[in-house]
A = this chain, B = another copy of it.
């Protein structure tokens, strides 16, 4: 399929000009005025294309292009239009626009399809305004209750539900997408792999599970001058050694394992006092449940052993756990075949980031398509993807939708 490049470009530029920061970043926080303006445009384009538009109780917008078979389950493609503060031009937004453009292309080509083809714009994927992320898709998947989500507040104490009503996008619960033949999410990779390898398409086979740990190491606060090295129980020395060792262990564990220590601080935080306690966070990701559990165990063991060697102790608490997602095999195969037929360079890849697709995967057969992120930059104004990769991503989306329409998923 060949999409209408001009139309896609013009529409993306139109919405990406709504709320631009001084650094040329995007500022479409969920349920803000900018989000409403983008939603209104999206709805107008859906209606202009002859789609029926529905909005659910979380504010998610669906545009439905009628298929031939009343009884067939719909096929949905989508992502999100909200952005991080000072975020990128394509994160999420590309998936919504590629989905819309793909369905329009199919319709205009005269190709026949049985299932309804839908495009979805999930509310508050970023979690930048209302924490946590993926509130709407998570509610669809039964992870959150509507009331709990309604009561989420932004940093100014404004409630999700109040903003949803204010911008006029509080719809009906019965409009939620809970059953479909397939859900497909085109997205930028947000990582450096495809770009570094010069590959245009990522066939996403799943998403890494996440284990979040809070580590507190206790030693003994002491005077920096009067305490000889041999008398110290330095909590930061133990933390530094542990961070170094658990990283090496993670590398040895093998890809796609990743470990990140994003936050660290030492107490009492005085330049001339040996730290008596240190806190640091661990974000550990892997693609299988068993591997995740094993990596978590090894990581904890190393920390405890390191602390014991250095006269300190560690308390480790899990603050977050997200299961790895394994996407639907048929959808993965359809993406692979369509990319090959189109002559695109492609590779299988596991998503390191969370996406609406990860929650929707719990209730609907799901897959994703990645387009490259230049230098892996994301959540910043420098986030970018070559136009040709966006175009082939949108065209591939159309090809996959047609394939899925013919497949038994």
Taking Cβ atoms with an 8 Å cutoff, the residues of A that contact B are 189-193, 196, 208, 210, 212, 222-229, 231, 234, 236-237, 239-241, 243-244, 247, 250-251, 255-266, 269-275, 278, 281, 283, 285, 351-354, 376, 378-379
> Which residues does chain B contribute within 8 Å of A269, judged by CB atoms?
262-263
The complex places the Cα of A227 from the Cα of B212 at a distance, in Å, of 17
The complex places the Cα of A99 from the Cα of B319 at a distance, in Å, of 56
> Which residues does chain B contribute within 8 Å of A270, judged by CB atoms?
262-263
A229-B250, A231-B196, A236-B243 are contacts. A262–B224 as well, Cβ < 8 Å?
Answer: yes
Please state if A260 and B243 are interface contacts (CB–CB under 8 Å): no
Please state if A255 and B228 are interface contacts (CB–CB under 8 Å): yes
> Which residues does chain B contribute within 8 Å of A231, judged by CB atoms?
191-193, 196, 376
Please state if B275 and A376 are interface contacts (CB–CB under 8 Å): no
> Which residues does chain B contribute within 8 Å of A275, judged by CB atoms?
261-262
- The 5 tightest CB contacts between A and B, nearest first, are A191-B226, A225-B352, A224-B260, A226-B352, A240-B243
A228-B191, A250-B229, A269-B263 are contacts. A353–B223 as well, Cβ < 8 Å?
Answer: yes
Show 30 residue pairs from A and B whose CB-CB distance is below 8 angstroms, ordered by the A residue.
Answer: A189-B226, A191-B223, A191-B226, A193-B228, A196-B231, A223-B353, A223-B379, A224-B285, A224-B352, A225-B283, A225-B285, A225-B351, A226-B352, A226-B378, A227-B258, A227-B376, A228-B255, A228-B258, A229-B250, A229-B258, A236-B243, A236-B262, A237-B244, A239-B240, A240-B243, A240-B247, A260-B274, A264-B265, A271-B283, A272-B283
Please state if A244 and B251 are interface contacts (CB–CB under 8 Å): no
> Which residues does chain B contribute within 8 Å of A234, judged by CB atoms?
247, 260
Determine how many copies of this chain the complex contains.
2
Residue with the highest number of chain B CB atoms closer than 10 Å, among A190, A225, A239, A283? A225
A240-B243, A243-B240, A264-B265 are contacts. A227–B191 as well, Cβ < 8 Å?
Answer: yes
The complex places the Cα of A193 from the Cα of B223 at a distance, in Å, of 13
> Which residues does chain B contribute within 8 Å of A236, judged by CB atoms?
243, 261-262, 264
The complex places the Cα of A352 from the Cα of B229 at a distance, in Å, of 12
